[in-house]
Amino acid sequence: MLEPSSQPPDHLISPITPPPSPPPASTPTKPNQFLSLISNRPSLRVTSEFDSDSRVFFHKVSCKLFDDLAKLKLSFVNNVKREISEPLLALTTKHLSIHYDPEEQNALIKSSFDVSPKLHFKAAHDVKAKRGEVAMISNLADPGYAVELSSPVPYVGLPKATIRFPMGEVTLEEREEEEEEVPRKLLINGILKGPILNGVGAAHYTDEELKLRYSYKDGALSFIPSISLPSNAVSFAFKRRFSPSDKLSYWYNFDSNGWSAVYKHTYDKDFKFKAGYDSEVRLGWASLWVGEENGKAKTSPMKMKVQFMLQVPQDDIKSSALMFRVKKRWDIL
């Protein structure tokens, strides 16, 4: 007797299907140079600002070139008579900047680069005035210490030397007097600061005048007295923070009896209200900022900053003026 076969009948065996034939090789298409040029074109950034007091529009048009290696900027003014000034041109890179004024037919050229990890070179040249300045800055081994030597071009007298250290800096400079017969003299200017009595003391000596300043600050209070010698002019500033969003600042000058006060309230990073009074000009004022006051328009809501200001003269309230300033940015791809 035959044993049953372990293989299924032939009609139950799945037919072997041949592998699919490879698709025909596609011919490479040549990229469209016009579309490539459009997609790689630099994006434009337009910023416009209007000042109601001067009734002048300030415009800036900028774009980045060569994969963000350089930036080209044009700025011009449009006044109330619809007259447009000649644009100021600026080309800036990491190590070189050129600012050209077509109306004055003048260019200001600046350059800076690292000669070595601790040696930096910078230079500036005014083409029309035919003068400039060159400087070398050396960072010493210890952090916070540096020496800078700078000299005008064409060369006149000794170079200016500045020594910087963690507690301040000292500058030696040869200066020419207004009278031609008087020889040039060497002047010493400097700043020295350091901790004193839970605060920071600072001494600033320049042009034979010494200004002494002490600053005490804690979480909510700041007190800053200062005196100038030899004029003996004394003043002080007082700042009080009532909450993270409320701050009052007061300044008084004993020599002129002039004073000023400013109150500031912030609703958010993009909303700030300020009000103040200045006794020297006898003027009260209030302003409202929409958009960060010291920030750029690109970080503000709708990329726009608006400031409203009300000025009220104490001697003539009827001549009060409401002014506003608007700054808007557009990104054109």
The answer to whether residue 186 sits within a structural domain is yes
> Of 196, 225, 252, which one is at a domain's C-terminal end?
196
Q: 117 and 63, same structural domain?
A: no
Residue 302, phi then psi, degrees to nearest 5 = 55, 20
CA-CA-CA-CA torsion sign (282, 228, 175, 194): negative
Same domain, yes or no: 69 and 145 = no
pLDDT(39) > 70 = no
pTM of the model: 0.71
Segment 89-98, tens digit of pLDDT: 999 999 999 9
pLDDT of residue 237: 96
Instruction: Report the share of the chain in percent with pLDDT over 90.
Output: 53
Query: Is 155 a member of any domain?
Result: yes
Residue 155's Cβ-side half-sphere holds a number of Cα atoms within 13 Å equal to 3
Instruction: Please tell me the total count of domains within the chain.
Output: 2
Clarify whether residues 123 and 184 are in a common domain: yes
Q: Of 18-32, 78-92, 237-251, 303-317, where does mean pLDDT reach its minimum?
A: 18-32
Last residue of a domain, one of 196, 224, 255: 196
182 vs 263 pLDDT, higher one: 263
Domain final residue pick, 104, 130, 146 = 104
Average pLDDT over residues 232-255: 94
> If you average pLDDT over every residue of the chain, what do you get?
84
Q: Which of 290, 327, 325 is nearest to 52 (CA)?
A: 325
Stronger pLDDT, 29 or 8, i.e. the higher one: 29
pLDDT above 50: residue 14: no
Same-domain check for residues 60 and 96 = yes
Give the mean model confidence (pLDDT) for residues 71-75: 93
Q: Does residue 123 belong to any structural domain of this protein?
A: yes
Residue 217 has pLDDT above 50, yes or no: yes
Q: Are residues 116 and 90 in the same domain?
A: no
Domain residue limits at 96: 42-104
Residue 17 has pLDDT above 50, yes or no: no
In a domain, 167, yes or no: yes
Instruction: With respect to residue 11, please indicate whether it lies within any of the assigned structural domains.
Output: no
Q: Do residues 78 and 66 touch, judged by C-beta distance below 8 A?
A: no
93 and 141 together in one domain: no
Asked whether residue 88 is assigned to any structural domain, the reply reads yes
Are residues 125 and 58 part of one domain? no
